[in-house]
Chain A
Amino acid sequence: MKPTIVLEASDLAIAAVLILVDVGISIGFRLALHRQLAVAAVRMVLQLLLIGVILGKVFAAASPPLTLLVVLVMVGIAGSEVAGRPERRLAAQGNYIAGGTAVAFATGVTSILALTTALRPDPWYEARYAIPLAGIVLGNVLNAASLALDSLLDGAMREKAAIEARLCLGATARQAMAHLLRSAMRRGLLPVVNQMSAAGVVTLPGIMTGQILAGLDPMEAVKYQILLMFLLSGGAGLSAVAVVFLAARQLTDKRQRLRLDRLLPRGG
């Protein structure tokens, strides 16, 4: 393995010139994005530096409760992202309940599976492995769950007549919403299908590129990437199914009614 090329602050400063190029484009073409670009770039640098410092300390502490706390905070943030992204909201914080539970469940299952079977660090919950792994799984799970939730909530409103038509003919709420559940799950799963299809052909996945740049043998980087892709697809599937079923339960009641009164008006 070749020695890692260590990046200096000056190296990053040179790359940062590209942000100035974007700012120039924004000004030149009157995109009105230059302020947002500058703020986002500064924010990204500060956020990443901060997480670098925190991760360094957490890895050094090697404390299981601290590792768990970091993972829980990450799950909480991802859950609230899932809840916040759809245009429609379930009453009684329903988006947060469905989003948070789905994210925690999918991330927990896939990360623990990888840590205890494929990666097997000792102990299996070692922060250096558990936190980055949970992070990358969370990113994908978040995407799948928020797309699926958005599709379900929007579809329930749009397809009210179709759902109630089936209820009127004696269907259960689950049968009446089946077509909607299917399309919401598909919506959640499609990005990871595209990601897997494009990996290595259209795109070189970010993690793999990072590992190769950091000096790892390409074949080793590829093996890690394959493992990650499987984890991401599993996480996406689990989170899409979980969020869709949890939200659908909240949109119906035990008398098998469609309860659109539990959806807040847009912007509510």
Chain B
Amino acid sequence: MRGCWGSWRGSRTVLAAEPLGAPAFPESREKGRLQMAGLHSRLAGPFDMAVAAGACVAITGASGSGKSLFLRMVADLDPNQGEVFVDGRARSSMPAPAWRRLVTYVPAESGWWEEAVAAHFDDLPAARVMAERLGLKPELLDGVVLRLSTGEKQRLALTRSLLVGGPVLLLDEPTGALDGDSQAKVEAVLRERMAAGTTILMVTHDAAQAGRLGGRHMVMAAGKLSEAGGRA
């Protein structure tokens, strides 16, 4: 039998609306030194790079150049070859869910599986605090997903991922739908996380964002990454 479908012992939990397990690290306890060796798929790569713990790499590039694909490969969401390490721990040495708690991908299009916003958070008090820091009204967590605007959804999805507390964040257009003020709040939280050792790979159309976060700026073209004139 393949993967988690082989085990019928846990089938009871399939039918229960169970939470996803306790968040691994409310605040990241680990540093996020990220390395890739020969990471590639049919459509992109190979990628060989190292990112120091607490650093930010902003990736820009034309639509369809492979930016999101790259983040998805690092998160192991699409079939790919090669190896990725966090602090020397190989991706292949651990189950995929454990890897994704270390290397958390926040897609540009947020996904919701229940009607109530609160049902998407294991730790509601912590979620309210984080949501407020990202410029959201905490009451939003008592509402329904259908009423949320695109920007609210985006920041609540970021809240959810920040609460996982992994040492690496893969952010796909994290401020794409936000006004200047909200964007500044999000960037302030990200800077704080970076200071604590969280590493960020971020796809953005805003080249200046890399400069604001004090990180590297790279450009994706036809599935290949290259430095955009060194440090932005």
Interface residues of A in 148-206 (CB under 8 A from B): 159-175, 178-179, 181-182
Q: How far is the CA of A175 from the CA of B17 in the complex (A)?
A: 9
Interface residues of A in 72-104 (CB under 8 A from B): none
Q: What are the residues of chain A within 8 A of B13 when measuring CB–CB?
A: 175, 178
Q: What are the residues of chain B within 8 A of A254 when measuring CB–CB?
A: 2-3
Report yes or no: B111 in contact with A173, Cβ–Cβ below 8 A: no
Q: What are the residues of chain A within 8 A of B106 when measuring CB–CB?
A: 168
**Does A266 belong to the interface (CB within 8 Å)?**
no
Q: What are the residues of chain B within 8 A of A171 when measuring CB–CB?
A: 20-21, 97
Q: Give the nearest-CB partner of A161 in chain B.
A: B111
Q: What are the residues of chain B within 8 A of A217 when measuring CB–CB?
A: none
Question: Which of these, A161, A175, A181, A182, contacts B20 with CB under 8 Å?
Answer: A175
Q: Report the minimum CB–CB distance from A167 to chain B (whole Å).
A: 6
Q: How far is the CA of A131 from the CA of B100 in the complex (A)?
A: 51
Q: How far is the CA of A173 from the CA of B14 in the complex (A)?
A: 10
Report yes or no: B113 in contact with A170, Cβ–Cβ below 8 A: no
**Does B95 belong to the interface (CB within 8 Å)?**
yes
Q: How far is the CA of A237 from the CA of B171 in the complex (A)?
A: 42
Q: Report the minimum CB–CB distance from B188 to chain A (whole Å).
A: 23
Report yes or no: A249 in contact with B5, Cβ–Cβ below 8 A: yes
Q: Give the nearest-CB partner of A178 in chain B.
A: B14
**How big is the A interface, by class?**
20 to 34
Q: Report the minimum CB–CB distance from A156 to chain B (whole Å).
A: 13
Q: What are the residues of chain A within 8 A of B109 when measuring CB–CB?
A: 161
Q: What are the residues of chain B within 8 A of A252 when measuring CB–CB?
A: 3-5
Q: How far is the CA of A178 from the CA of B19 in the complex (A)?
A: 11
Q: How far is the CA of A168 from the CA of B113 in the complex (A)?
A: 13
Q: What are the residues of chain B within 8 A of A257 when measuring CB–CB?
A: 76-79, 96
Question: Are A255 and B96 also in contact (CB < 8 A) when A175-B18, A178-B14 are?
Answer: yes
**Does B37 belong to the interface (CB within 8 Å)?**
no
Q: Which residues of A contact B (CB under 8 A)?
A: 159-175, 178-179, 181-182, 245, 248-249, 252-259
Known pairs A160-B111, A181-B14, A182-B15; list 16 more (Cβ under 8 Å).
A159-B111, A161-B110, A165-B107, A167-B77, A169-B101, A170-B24, A170-B98, A170-B104, A171-B20, A173-B4, A175-B13, A178-B13, A249-B1, A249-B2, A253-B79, A256-B95
